Structure 1
């Protein structure tokens, strides 16, 4: 324990609240041990889906404190922080031992960044699982922020990523689509390996991810792969399409934003990787509950009206639907859950499953098949051009310019738009697609060439794509 007298205030080292004050009123962990469930209870079927979701809701919304494991522990100046949340050794603002804000340690729970259901209403409609306003944007790994504009050019240079938080509704349907796309791509990969010299088109659910070919020695040429990683795993979550599942996204978000380390990744239930005196910060059962809760959040919907028909037709005609695919269908109705780090076999090594055609998600089922997921995305990364490129020092030029196609369901309620929230209206967002090198420039130009009447038809159609009205209401006693 370190004691330093500063301005007549005794500043106690990070470990001391856990060690000294745990028995005082209000000083224990915010997440009560009796509210946590185990992986065994889930796997053995001891809990109902709603009981699992309620446990996940608590992980999602509890404002963690240090006795829960919040933060990176006491800073060790002898070890580099490596600009990474995983190091468990990030510095904090003014050495306050709690917050960093730039590069994580920027919130106490998921709800802080995922709480706006509609920004179209005034005041905003708040709810669990929504998106975030600009003030909740994550600032990822910058080492330079030119806030004083040293060049006097009106540009504050920034070499990290700026990420406006997306809403989480409909995640289960998105993940199921991505799992099936990955399954198709893995089969195509095996076909290429079994047929050396044959150029194989990577087509799945009417989306093309380029081509691959193998030689007689089993070497796979992935130089023509487009919009997906070379391992051919579709990762639908994150602005860059870099998380394959809600579980993987949650694991990474917990450690980045809160320093809450999941035992699934950081050494097991007895490990204290960040040396903060707390073990088993996020157990396997906690992470399962969280991922099942997120995957069963309500889905966005469309207001049905004949008024929107012409707008939808024009949306397709001008090329928007080339990337913003209105509907994806699945072969299955049940989303299986698996641990992170499992082999890329999307429907093997699973421990639980949820039928997405039933409450609470109630995706429209297809007779004799799976469900319809009306997300308006192809789950593929595209080059969005020079003007929208990020300036992150840890990404190459291609990575800085590529983003996964934004899902448009709920778009009426989710301003600001684009990956960093720079577009405040739908028209701004559309026109920003037209810049040098952008794959979507033609669609934006086509929109701009329409009459005002036709532009309005498209905008009215987009404004019919709404967020859930009262998400998670079945779990909350209001």
Structure 2
């Protein structure tokens, strides 16, 4: 059981002074130094929390909120003297005396430095763009040359807990279909084929043979392992936990012990900056919990009558021109219990096999979740306007979204995740680089699989195109 004590922040110090009981799993120093320039001052023993029966949301959410907004300093271990920003712990970094390096990082000292529009956890301005590599070992660069890095704008993460829960259910469903077709092929002695579909979304086909082998060439918009990876613009992170561990190292130079600690690297100070185990599993869980419980975006309720009418017309046209075939208005979710670590976390991220039992965050206890509509089966309808699927959205005739030279995690350069449109009225500018200033521009930039929908939109009369914009502008992140 990992227990790392750090000085407590003032709220915990005050609680101690007033003899207010703290959650049993919270680790706090009883004699804090409130003037300390360290940003990380609390920890949580997630093993004790899981066994305590306490509501993990109530314990983790406040700490996660503070960690997300905290401005990490070199006293916390911020900076990356030796380690690169790669997903695999790699030491190939050119030494620099500068703690901040805008390109390969550290390029920010707080999560909220980029995720802040219109609120913490939101999107980022063009000035907060980051530069990312292919993701594995080639992650140390000092140039914006597109041969070495891709420029990316910041995504909003409101509603991310529901997104991950949808992806988990869809992954489990697709894997059940794989198991069934394998059993059918083995039983019959002949090849068997299944058309993969879950929650009404097609992911191509899978052919199984009697010897247990699989032909995955028919898959569409998903990796060969049938794991939906709903996070990042390329759809390469399966969980908020994996995304968090990656981002903390990549952007802040803060290494989580579950990936960079002694169990995997043989040292508790992989980057060689004199700070051991810079982020504990409990602190990562707190960040995950805060992100997972961020309220989903909503529709603006105080629209003037002319805007309301235009948005209503625009939503109808949005479906008629085919946009809703990928930007699906809502997907049904069976379970609201968010386990951390999740069922599909893998090596380099804390896994369920690494703990006595996962934390169970019941998102159904949150007021904003209770307000979401349900279908006739009692399932929550998640209004994401997305399909959690990758699509080719560029071609030779319209290559705005195909300009990157680097693939990322084996995802082709012209293939991107369908952007969830909930909240899009609050997240300008648009496109994966954030260099498109209007919704009209980003719609007209669609190519590849979205060509016909883009042509249908282009063929509308101007008032009808404007009504679609009015609809999209009504989808906002509440402030």
Q: TM-score, normalised by structure 2?
A: 0.80
1:233 and 2:227 aligned? yes
1:413 and 2:402 aligned? no
CA distance in 2, matches of 1:70, 1:89: 18
Q: Which residue is equivalent to 1:309?
A: 312
1:433 and 2:422 aligned? no
Aligned-residue offset at 1:320 = 0.3
Aligned-residue offset at 1:369 = 2.8
Instruction: Please list, as runs of the form range in 1=range in 2, the aligned pairs for 1:104-253 lying within 5 A after superposition.
Output: 104-117=105-118, 127-141=119-133, 157-196=146-185, 197-253=191-247
CA distance in 2, matches of 1:46, 1:381: 38
CA distance in 2, matches of 1:228, 1:427: 28
Q: TM-score, normalised by structure 1?
A: 0.80
CA distance in 1, matches of 2:176, 2:352: 11
Instruction: Please list, as runs of the form range in 1=range in 2, the aligned pairs for 1:348-387 lying within 5 A after superposition.
Output: 350-356=358-364, 358-359=366-367, 361-362=369-370, 364-366=372-374, 368-386=377-395, 387=399
CA distance in 1, matches of 2:371, 2:218: 35
The structure with the largest helix share of the pair is 2
Q: 1:393 to 1:462 in 2, by over 3 A?
A: closer
Instruction: Please list, as runs of the form range in 1=range in 2, the aligned pairs for 1:16-165 lying within 5 A after superposition.
Output: 28-32=37-41, 35-44=42-51, 45-46=53-54, 49-73=57-81, 75=82, 86-87=89-90, 90-91=93-94, 95-117=96-118, 127-141=119-133, 157-165=146-154
Q: Is the 2:175–2:226 Cα contact (8 Å) retained in structure 1?
A: yes
Q: Is the 1:146–1:158 Cα contact (8 Å) retained in structure 2?
A: no
Aligned residue for 1:281, secondary structure, equals: coil
Q: Deviations over 1:69-122 (max 9, x none)?
A: 11223x49xxxx697783255336xx22412221231001101010111xxxxx
CA distance in 2, matches of 1:232, 1:83: 24
Instruction: Please list, as runs of the form range in 1=range in 2, the aligned pairs for 1:443-462 lying within 5 A after superposition.
Output: 443-462=453-472
Aligned residue for 2:312, secondary structure, equals: helix
CA distance in 2, matches of 1:244, 1:349: 20
Aligned residue for 2:225, secondary structure, equals: coil
Q: Deviations over 1:10-57 (max 9, x none)?
A: xxxxxxxxxxxxx9995652212xx32221243123465233101111
Q: Is the 2:313–2:467 Cα contact (8 Å) retained in structure 1?
A: yes
Q: Which residue is equivalent to 1:151?
A: none
Aligned-residue offset at 1:162 = 1.2
Q: 1:180 to 1:389 in 2, by over 3 A?
A: same
CA distance in 2, matches of 1:360, 1:82: 36
1:318 and 2:321 aligned? yes
| Count of aligned residue pairs for this structure pair | 416
Q: 1:185 to 1:363 in 2, by over 3 A?
A: farther
Aligned residue for 1:199, secondary structure, equals: strand
Q: Is the 2:85–2:249 Cα contact (8 Å) retained in structure 1?
A: no
Aligned-residue offset at 1:370 = 2.7
